Structure 1
Amino acid sequence: MGAFAEFERALIRERQREGIVLAKQRGAYRGRKKSLNSEQIAELKRRVAAGDQKTLVARDFGISRETLYQYLRED
């Protein structure tokens, strides 16, 4: 009984992988939209460079500190 379940699960995974590949080709798999636009990101980077506390900057923009750090890492 277990062998049939494993086989069926493998078939499901294979079909899922094929579906994901097709969705990516159609452009449906793009990921989540950014929380901030390019102007907001520039302002965020300017404020951090000016010495504002990162926690306060993140709070002002309504994002988490981790998201703030991700924006600071991207160039």
Structure 2
Amino acid sequence: MIVGYARTSTVEQVAGLEAQERDLAAAGAQKQFSERVSSVAERAELKKALDYLRDGDVFVVTKLDRLARSVPDLVSIVEVIAAKGASLKILNLNLDTTTPTGKLMLNLLGSIAQFERELMLERQREGIAKAKAEGKYKGRAPTARNKTSEVLALSQDGIGPAEISRRLGIGRSSVYRILENADVSGS
């Protein structure tokens, strides 16, 4: 059986997910698992897809970056697939791990992708440091802290943290932090 997996990083990427699902169907995927979640988050559908695999199945993804976030992650996923007696196919690379060349190419591409990501993060850190040194980078504005007086007033009116969070459009943890810092938490 051909089992497909599609993933986008954000909920807004509907067209990207639909395109992946269409490509997986065209590749013959009889069963598909899809999710809209960052690669660093818990990927429940990926886990379900890997659990679903059986001996002789082919696990198909459209692109390598839709499957793994790093070389160790890729190696771990490939080991799970191999332990099930299945193989991996990456459509945009025309890569199939049933061949020795396919296995070699997968490891090389995974290493290059991780190297590229690490370089990008390094450049990003350097850019932020430079902007800070020039006084151009201030970071994110502390929106919740700016609403401290409103949080305290609503709390004194007997409104709970969840409702305060909803009304003011800030995180519930921020409400708790403000209340804790003001010693108004009621405990």
In angstroms, what is the RMSD of aligned CA positions?
3.5
TM-score, reference length from structure 1 = 0.54
Higher helix proportion:
1
C-alpha displacement at 1:49, in angstroms? 3.4
C-alpha displacement at 1:21, in angstroms? 3.1
2:177 is the counterpart of 1:70: yes
5+ residue gaps, structure 2, are 1-118, 183-187
> CA 1:30/1:49 → structure 2, altered by over 3 Å: closer, same or farther?
same
1:55 alignment counterpart: 162
C-alpha displacement at 1:65, in angstroms? 0.4
Amino acid in the other structure paired with 1:29:
Y
Higher strand proportion:
2
Q: Residues 28-48 of structure 1: CA distance to partner in whole angstroms, max 9, x if unpaired?
A: 33211132574x321111222
Q: Residues 1-42 of structure 1: CA distance to partner in whole angstroms, max 9, x if unpaired?
A: xxxxxxxxxx9887766544322111233211132574x321
2:135 alignment counterpart: 27
Aligned residues: 72
5+ residue gaps, structure 1, are 1-10
C-alpha displacement at 1:59, in angstroms? 0.5
What secondary structure sits across from 2:130 in the alignment?
helix
Decide which structure has the larger Cα Rg and report it: 2
